[in-house]
């Protein structure tokens, strides 16, 4: 058997651990395994330049490292691949070219390590006849069918540490600190890190907030003699009927969420007269070494993906359904978004502890 493996979308801590485990599992079966550089890009390049043969030596000692030894792309879609000709960029479908290259390399299966976008692409390739299995990656933890994605625990741990540290400076200066964390469609990172880090207000995409409720919480704390507050805001949170906030990007560049923390801090200063500052954690949440939870989850994902291939269970994603790893159809995984359920006991716990979600 010859396996190909790629990493797609934004990176997440644990990618290298997945590559390590999948490679070891494949080599132990006597199979060959090759990494594709930068998502599918490597399959569009001539010769061997876009390919990384995965050997014992290549994957030794990488499981604890952040990033991906294969490289990844957060844009570039095989079905809408951007090309620039005469200064103008347009998109073309290169999926047939990729499928042709897959066959040319005499590959038997592909392991796709990615989030929602990568799973959608994988589903289309599977429908075109490419045998593949997927592994759920995203720090946002917003994929359906699996209890957890890898990368999430590391992101929460970085954010929790940052929120915890901000207490002392917030209190010293009697300020409000607004911490913006990632979370496009789902507020898992904000909820977990806000709860673990001792936030007073947590804003998540699942619950529309109203500024007046944030101000009310800050005032309540002032009245009880606490001179500082910590607000944790997921980048995708918004007010009722409000719009998502995007950063300024270069011409033609994909829209990027961001700016909510700064907006809220400014509004708090304007309306309460209290000093406020913003901290945007951004890509720190994706960077660096994975936590032990993410390492173990990633190693299990990588090993199980090879097992699914051995059983020819193509078109499936490896899903973590504690205590087991299971096969879950990619076609089902791409149907929804794993958002924070409004009846979740974690939300109830947070509310019981006096944390405001900006809705009441
Ligand atoms: O999907 C994960 C994510 O971390 C989002 O929360 C965030 O909006 C996005 O990636 C940013 O990705 P990049 O800056 O790499 O395009």
The per-residue pLDDT for range 160-184, each reduced to its tens digit, is 999 999 999 999 999 999 999 999 9
Reduced 3-state DSSP string for 126-153: HHCCCCEEEEEECCCCCCCCCCCCECHH
What does CATH list as the number for 2-150+288-322? 3.40.50.450
d(CA 112, CA 135): 6
**Ligand 1 centroid, distance to 10 Cα (angstroms):** 6
| Secondary structure element (H or E) that encloses residue 2, with its range | strand 2-7
Mean pLDDT of the chain: 96
The candidate with the shortest Cα–Cα distance to 233, out of 269, 211, 260, 266, is 260
Q: Could you tell me if the CB of 236 is within 6 A of ligand 1?
A: no
d(CA 201, CA 355): 5
pLDDT digits (tens, 9 = 90+) for 246-281: 998 877 677 889 999 999 999 999 999 999 999 999
- Report domain extents, the chain: 2-150+288-322, 154-285+341-352
Considering the candidates 38, 116, 140, 200, report the single residue annotated as catalytic: 140
pLDDT computed for residue 225 by the predictor: 97
Q: Could you tell me if the CB of 257 is within 6 A of ligand 1?
A: yes
Alpha-carbon separation of residue 41 from 68, 87, 108 (angstroms): 15, 21, 19
Atom nearest to 142 CA in ligand 1 = 1
DSSP 35: E
Q: How far is CA 127 from the centre of its chain?
A: 25
Q: Sign of the CA dihedral 125, 11, 259, 213?
A: positive
pLDDT digits (tens, 9 = 90+) for 216-246: 999 999 999 999 999 999 999 999 999 999 9
154-285+341-352 maps to CATH 3.40.50.300: no
d(CA 153, CA 333): 20
Q: Could you tell me if the CB of 115 is within 6 A of ligand 1?
A: yes
Query: Can you give the pTM of this predicted structure?
Result: 0.96
Residue nearest to atom 9 of ligand 1 (CA): 10
- Whether 154-285+341-352 and 2-150+288-322 are alike in CATH topology: the answer is yes
Q: How many residues does the chain have?
A: 360
**Ligand 1 centroid, distance to 189 Cα (angstroms):** 13
pLDDT computed for residue 153 by the predictor: 98
Residue nearest to atom 16 of ligand 1 (CA): 74
Please give the structure tokens belonging to residue 170: 């917030």
Residue of 136, 140, 181 best suited for mutating to test ligand 1, as the one with most atoms within 8 Å of CB: 140
CA terminus-to-terminus distance, the chain: 58
Active site residue 140: yes
Q: Is 329 exposed, middle or buried, given 0-12, 13-18 or 19+ CB atoms closer than 10 A?
A: middle
Q: Could you tell me if the CB of 154 is within 6 A of ligand 1?
A: no
d(CA 142, CA 145): 10
pLDDT digits (tens, 9 = 90+) for 73-132: 987 789 999 888 888 888 999 999 999 999 999 999 999 999 999 999 999 999 999 999
Q: Could you tell me if the CB of 141 is within 6 A of ligand 1?
A: no
**Ligand 1 centroid, distance to 244 Cα (angstroms):** 14
């Amino acid at each position: 058997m010859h396996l190909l493996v790629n990493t797609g979308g934004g990176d997440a801590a644990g990618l290298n651990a997945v590559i390590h485990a999948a490679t070891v599992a494949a080599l132990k079966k006597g199979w060959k395994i090759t990494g594709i550089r930068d998502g599918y890009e490597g399959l569009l390049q001539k010769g061997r330049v876009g390919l990384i043969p995965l050997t014992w030596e290549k994957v030794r000692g990488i499981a604890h490292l952040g990033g991906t030894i294969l490289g990844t792309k957060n844009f570039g879609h095989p079905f809408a691949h951007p090309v620039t000709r005469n200064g103008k960029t347009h998109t073309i479908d290169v999926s047939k070219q990729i499928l042709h290259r897959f066959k040319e390399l005499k590959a038997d299966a592909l392991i796709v390590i990615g989030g929602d976008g990568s799973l959608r692409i994988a589903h289309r390739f599977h429908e075109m006849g490419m045998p593949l299995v997927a592994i759920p990656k995203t720090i946002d933890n917003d994929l359906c069918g699996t209890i957890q994605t890898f990368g999430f625990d590391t992101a929460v741990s970085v954010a929790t540490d940052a929120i915890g540290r901000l207490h002392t400076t917030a209190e010293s200066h009697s300020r409000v600190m607004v911490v913006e964390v990632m979370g496009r469609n789902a507020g898992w990172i904000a909820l977990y890190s806000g709860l673990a880090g001792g936030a007073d207000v947590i804003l998540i995409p699942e619950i529309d907030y109203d500024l007046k409720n944030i101000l009310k919480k800050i005032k309540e704390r002032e009245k009880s003699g606490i001179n500082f507050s910590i607000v944790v805001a997921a980048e995708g949170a918004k007010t009722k009927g409000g719009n998502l906030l995007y950063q300024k990007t270069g011409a033609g560049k994909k829209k990027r969420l961001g700016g909510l923390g700064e907006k809220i801090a400014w509004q708090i200063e304007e309306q309460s007269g209290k000093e406020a500052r913003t901290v945007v954690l951004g890509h720190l949440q994706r960077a660096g070494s994975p936590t032990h939870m993410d390492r173990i989850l990633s190693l299990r994902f990588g090993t199980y993906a090879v097992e699914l291939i051995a059983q020819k269970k193509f078109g499936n994603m490896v899903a973590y359904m504690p205590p087991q790893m299971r096969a879950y159809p990619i076609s089902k995984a791409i149907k929804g978004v794993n958002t924070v359920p409004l009846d979740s006991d974690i939300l109830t716990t947070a509310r019981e502890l006096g944390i405001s979600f900006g809705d009441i």
